[in-house]
Amino acid sequence: MTIEVKTNLSGWGRFRHADCRVIEPENRARLTTFLRDRAASGAIARGMGRSYGDSSVLRDGLVIGQKYLNRLLSFDSVHGSIQCEAGVTLEDIIKVSLPYGWFLPTTPGTKYISVGGAIAADVHGKNHHVDGTFGAWVRGLTLILHDGTILDCSSDKNADVFWATIGGMGLTGFIRDARIQLTKVESAYYSVRYHRCANLNSALSLLASTENEYKYSVGWIDCLSRGSGLGRSILMLANNAGLDDLSSSQRNNPLEVRASTPVLEVPFDFPNWVLNPFSVSIFNKSYYFMQRNRQEIVSYESFFYPLDGVSGWNRIYGKRGFIQYQALFPEKTAEAGIRAVLETVSSHGAASFLAVIKRCGEANPAPLSYLHRGYTIALDIPNFGNALLRMIKSLDEILLRNQGRLYLAKDSMMDAGTFAAMYPRKAEFLAVKRKVDPDCFFRSDQAKRVGLCF
Amino acid sequence: MKTKGHACVILGSLSGIAREIAFRLAIKGIPLVLVGRSAEELEIQASDLKIKFGVPVEALVADARDLDMLASLPAECAKMLNGISIGTVILCWGVMYSQKDSEKDPQLLRQNFDINLTSAALVLQAFANWMSSNKKGGTIVGISSVAGDRGRGTNYLYGATKAGLSALLDGMRHRYHGTGLRVITVKPGIVNTPMARGFVNSSSLLCASPAQVAADIVRSIESGSFSIYTPRYWKIIMAMIRTIPERIFLRLKL
């Protein structure tokens, strides 16, 4: 018997909360039986809850937790192929694979996400322009459908369901397990070049001109800076460090897995006034001017996961929570689009000390996949009240005018009309969903809001 | 760990507390035999532990309700271990069927006792016989419960099985004292596991995590404890509950 427990859930931004009925199946048989016998009220899987909005929240519906479905099934240390249940986290994979010289082919800014979440949100990292998204490295996955049927999928078996599930936000079925191809690495370190760019133009041109030189690239933008300094940023351009690049102490343990205990912990919600335009602009200015142009060898932990060292960092935004707005622009409209977004955000005084820009490469076949060639900018925006919705609407208009689009894994507020305009392959996705989930059993509050339900 | 070089048999390895115990033992490099009902789940649990910790892990399918088979369990485990001797046995299987349902359904009522007490007595005695005849010593651990310390109206059927199990373990400890075979009685309070789901409010102060309880159990094996409450504050709570005069206790809604 699988028992439901009423729990109040939200996304990482803690922007909206909803009471959901959480079940935590102890094993796959319980889950399959549960799905076969369940009453029709809708369900969504939830991994580590790191999506920013309501992608894994379903008001008054069922939320399927991964607490016990988080085991490694096989690992081939010679070929770098790992098979695991969807509740396994990226951290679990690193711990097992790095000592053998294998690392995640691409990773977002936190390792505390589940493999199921990584696939459902088709996550990306600093190397999208070279290696694509996480979904590109999935060699196969097993879904449990709404009625308990088990479906194996890959790019040559049930390929339509496979690609609909990648980036499909859990709406095709419950991802039971997946096989991932990892990437060989010589060391756990990265050779990083830090470069200060005085404005948006110089940041974009540096990202473009170094595209073939650096596998990893990302820019931190001071999004409160205006005028000629609009878009001033610190760019981090990196490649994997070979053994020869390492210091002698690093060479003693080149594949060292870092301890995962956080350095800092945010023990309570900061008062809402802590992050305000004044305090954040001071922080941004100081951070920008403090960064010297330099080259450094840093561990994977510092390069990919700096925020993982601050446990509960979302609490810095206070009880009101925050949203993340992540916009993708194609190359030809990127400069104008990003400029307009930054101007709008700073004119509203929407303080954000985390604004990041990345270069993106080719899209993958998934119908709901987010990235294609261009640039993506991601901003954390504190929930500063009713004016927030108005600002988001004006940002949405900027995107629509410039062929830009938003990322579902970050979204909290997009409406159905905006989503339909941004994702022309929506109908293709829904056709596959109708095939494997004809009653729309798998749904989330976000899916209902953006029009991915029927 | 005192039983270095020897394996540990976990009876009911898929249970909430047992999973955590299995991790902690595997990290220490202790070979394991996982015993449970589902072949598929045991395979997955074994793979997970082998990949993460590189220890030998065997899986054996057995059902506590199959009382006649239990006496042969030690020999079957030993066969899988192929030469490595059994150093520790930890009994983790158990059920807590709803008191209300068990009152009405005699079959269900009986299952509480068959699984929690009768099977425990049969399997633990079988292992005690096996381990003492091998003369290598070892440790037997049984997970009982604070519910066995005093019968109370809202949960006395489960409580009775655990009262019996506690007495069994305490008595075994006495019987085998000095022979090199140690027996530990473990009494957890309220633990946030699938068995307790819905029964307890997992965010309440008195609710422990399976990880905490597993850590206490592994520590008790290493330090040679006789009988432990986990978390430790239950010792005080139960001491108080045991001393409440019956006349007063009868008026309490417990």
Q: What is the pLDDT of residues B189-219, one digit of tens each?
A: 999 888 887 676 666 778 899 999 999 999 9
Q: How many CB pairs under 8 A join A and B?
A: 41
Residue in B closest to A82 by C-alpha = B51
Structure tokens at B193: 């596991």
- Is 80 exceeded by the pLDDT of residue A350? no
Is residue A78 within 8 angstroms of chain B, CB to CB?
no
Q: How many CB atoms lie within 10 A of CB A306?
A: 14
Confidence (pLDDT) at B200: 66
Do A75 and B51 count as a contact with CB atoms less than 8 A apart? yes
Q: For B62-72, what is each residue's pLDDT tens digit? A: 999 999 999 99
- Residue A195, beta-bridge partner list: A235
How far, in Å, CA of A412 to CA of A450, rounded?
Answer: 10
| Mean local confidence (pLDDT), A172-194 | 96
Band (pLDDT 50/70/90 cuts) for residue A1 is: low
Q: Is the pLDDT of residue A262 over 80?
A: no
CB atoms within 10 A of CB B126: 17
A310: confidence class by pLDDT, cuts 50, 70, 90: confident
Interface contact A96, partner B, CB < 8 A: yes
Band of the pLDDT at B2, cuts 50, 70, 90?
Answer: very low
Instruction: Give the chain A residue nearest B52 (alpha carbons).
Output: A96
Find the mean pLDDT for residues B153-175. Answer: 97
Flag whether residue B51 sits within 8 Å of chain A, measured between CB atoms: yes
CB A72 to CB B202 under 8 A? no
Q: Write down the pLDDT at residue A39.
A: 60
ipTM value for the complex: 0.87
Instruction: Residue B197: list chain A partners with CB under 8 A.
Output: 3, 5, 24
Q: Work out the percent of chain A whose per-residue pLDDT is above 70.
A: 98
Q: Is the pLDDT of residue A436 over 60?
A: yes
* Residues A430 and A395: beta-carbon distance below 8 Å: no
The CA distance from A4 to the nearest CA of chain B, in Å, is 7
CA distance A207 to A253: 32
Is the CB of residue A100 less than 8 Å away from at least one CB of chain B?
Answer: no
The answer to whether residue B44 neighbours chain A at the CB level (below 8 Å) is yes
Q: What are residue A378's phi and psi, to 5 degrees?
A: -125, 130
Token match 């001109």: residue?
A209
The whole-number pLDDT of residue A411 equals 95
Residues A107-143: tens digit of each pLDDT: 999 999 999 999 999 999 999 999 999 999 999 999 9
- What integer best gives the mean pLDDT of chain A? 92
- Tens digit of pLDDT for each residue in B93-139? 999 999 999 999 999 999 999 999 999 999 999 999 999 998 888 99
pLDDT of residue B4: 53
- Mind listing the pLDDT tens digit for each residue in A53-92? 999 999 999 999 999 999 999 999 999 999 999 999 999 9
Query: Can you give the pLDDT at residue A219?
Result: 94
